[in-house]
Amino acid sequence: MTFLLGVAIFVLALLISVMLHEAGHFLTAKRFGMKVTQFFVGFGQTLWSRVRGETEYGIKALPLGGFVKITGMTTLEEVDPADEPRSFRNQPGWQRIIVLAAGSFMHFALAFFLLIVLAAGLGLENDNSTAIGTVDSCVPASVTALNNQSCSGSRGTSPAQLAGLKPGDKIIAIGGTRVRNWTQLGAVIRAQPAGRATSVVVQRDGRQQTLSVTPVTVPGRRGSYLGIGNDTIFQRINPLRAVTYAGSAFGQVVTESVSGVSKLPAALPSLFAKDRAKTAAGQVGSVVGAGDTAGQVVAAKIGWQSKVAYILAIIISLNIFVGIFNLLPLLPMDGGHLAVIIYERCRAWLARLRGRPDPGLVDMRKLIPVSVGVFALLVGFSLLLIAADIINPVHLVQ
């Protein structure tokens, strides 16, 4: 049930993102006096709709996106002469550019807002702690069982539980090696000889205690295993610092998104590889993969703050990626239409320099083959990613 809750949360967040994207187009088009006849979430058969003023609002059967229909988007559309003055194609270039870019802007604005909420409301993770958050009950039978937090076919009780370690214990040292943060702790645990008892110094109720623990191995996993999870500490920062953090984190996600796009060709051969998670293909996925990750996060044995932080990170990354991808100069995406308008304005400027009349709008009929080709490529690539996420999903490493 918790897994399905995570998927439901992701789907809801995706639908809200779609609505905001279309709202960006809708509100700016309305602001400039363009005629907007439809505002729909989803595609396919209409489930519900209502007409208010000159616009029909509604929900369609397939929640795979959304659309806003603005009269006269291209030269291909037949428009009633009475509506032509309010058509999209009849407006100044700068207004059309704003309307087209408004969709991606809404994705960016939502991501920036959520980054501020994350920093000022929930808090940022502080890894300078060795406090135990969870103690596993068993030794997983494999890495897959470990990732899925399954005790099916387990190899016995976990070393941590056998040693008497408890949530809230702060580990001071293992095997005589002092540890100051969770990264050091993980490295020291993995380095301990499996099957040999070693000392663990913990702080419990204000006093130090020394326990004996015997690490084990999990088939397919490097290093020794104890069966503990960290108790992540979140620290809130003031709103001004939160804005600064949001700007920095936003730039980092943009860089990662651009890098992810550049890795797509190299990722294709490894989408169905057994070790996909360790290749470039482990860094790319579809909305199905993102939904699966959200489900894994909610089902994971971690604190609620960590779950919220992970879910927000998924939503933030998705919105920034979609915002950037949508601006690529490829028809039929908004970026392709932006490129056409910029080309029209440059052509008009050159014509003025030569003392010639404005050549007018681009004949979109000539671009139909390009638009259809790109659309088919995007659909095919999306289906390939979805198939990979269903057949060969990437699991979170616990």
* Selection from 179, 134, 140 nearest residue 160 by Cα: 134
Q: What is the DSSP string of 197-226?
A: -EEEEEEETTEEEEEEE--B--TT-SS-B-
* Token pair 């076919």 in the structure block, residue: 153
State how far Cα 138 lies from the chain centre. Answer: 32
> Can you tell me the distance from the alpha carbon of 49 to that of 57, in angstroms, rounded to the nearest whole number?
5
Cα-based torsion angle of the residue sequence 243, 246, 247, 250 in order, rounded to the nearest 10 degrees: -160
> Can you tell me the distance from the alpha carbon of 262 to that of 113, in angstroms, rounded to the nearest whole number?
27
Judge whether 257 and 369 are in contact, CB under 8 Å. Answer: no
Cα atoms found within 13 Å of the Cα of residue 20, Cβ hemisphere only: 17
Query: Encoding tokens for residue 340?
Result: 């056409």
Angle at 329 between CA 251 and CA 332, to 5 degrees: 120
* Token pair 């920062």 in the structure block, residue: 237
**In terms of residues, how long is the chain?**
398
> Can you tell me the distance from the alpha carbon of 293 to that of 396, in angstroms, rounded to the nearest whole number?
7
Which of helix, strand or coil describes residue 38? strand
Q: Respond yes or no: is residue 125 known to be catalytic.
A: no
Judge whether 260 and 284 are in contact, CB under 8 Å. Answer: yes
Q: Which residue is catalytic, options 22, 78, 125, 256?
A: 22
Task: List residues with catalytic annotation.
Answer: 22
